[in-house]
Amino acid sequence: MMQGTAQWLLDIGLPRGGYDLIDAVHAEDLARVPGPAGLREALALGRSLVTCDQEFRGPCALSIGHAGIVVFEERPVDEPEVVRNLRHLEFRIGQYGGALSLAGNRFRIRTDCEVVEIMPDGTEVELEPWKKVKLQVAPAMAW
């Protein structure tokens, strides 16, 4: 199972904290060019980029291999919120038993509500299987 094995690069603007429960490096702690962290830094570090930059959503064919991109729909309030949601994403990916990975994929998180995979064409696929309601329809009765 993948739980707790991901390595994260947290973009500028995300809460700073100890991040003792996950393997995270904050972009502000790196010696680098000012501005938002990007795929170049994440790729060089072998880490999945975590950002609030909505430009990573929508149609996109990334030509470079990457360790994954996670886009928070809204800026998380604090470090526990970031940790909780990233661990939840890892848990959801782990439920797919190897059929889905963080590497090479993009995900969107609506804090404590929703986790979706962003497909290359920009469509978003729900990763919360419990939300898929299945109703059994009773056969029509003849009067």
- What are 78-137's pLDDT values in tens digits? 999 999 999 999 999 998 888 999 999 999 999 988 999 999 999 999 987 665 555 566
Q: Is residue 45 part of a domain?
A: yes
Is residue 35 in a domain? Answer: yes
- Under the banding of pLDDT at 50, 70 and 90, the label for residue 3 is very low
Say if 50 falls within a structural domain. Answer: yes
Mention every residue, 6+ apart, whose C-beta is less than 8 A from residue 50. 8, 9, 10, 11, 14, 24, 70, 72, 82, 86
pTM value? 0.83
Residue 142 falls within a domain, yes or no? no
**Greatest distance between any 2 Cα atoms in the chain:** 77
Band of pLDDT at residue 19, cut at 50, 70 and 90 = confident
Mean pLDDT over the full length of the chain? 85
Q: List the one residue out of 34, 37, 8 whose CA is nearest residue 21.
A: 8
Q: How far apart are CA 40 and CA 32, in angstroms?
A: 11
* Distances, alpha carbon 35 to alpha carbons 13, 68, 85, 108, in Å: 10, 20, 24, 21
**Is residue 70, in this structure, part of any structural domain at all?**
yes
The pLDDT of residue 138 is above 80: no
136 domain-assigned: no
What would you report as the CA-atom Rg of the chain, rounded to the nearest whole angstrom?
17
Domain count, the chain: 1
Examine residue 141 and state whether it is found in any structural domain, yes or no: no
Q: What angle do CA 32, 36, 37 make, to 5 degrees?
A: 60
The boundaries of the domain holding residue 68 are 7-131
Q: Is position 98 within any domain?
A: yes
Task: Give Cβ neighbours of residue 12 (< 8 Å, ≥ 6 apart).
Answer: 27, 28, 35, 36, 37
Average pLDDT over residues 26-55: 83
* Rounded Cα gap, residues 142 and 104, in angstroms: 54
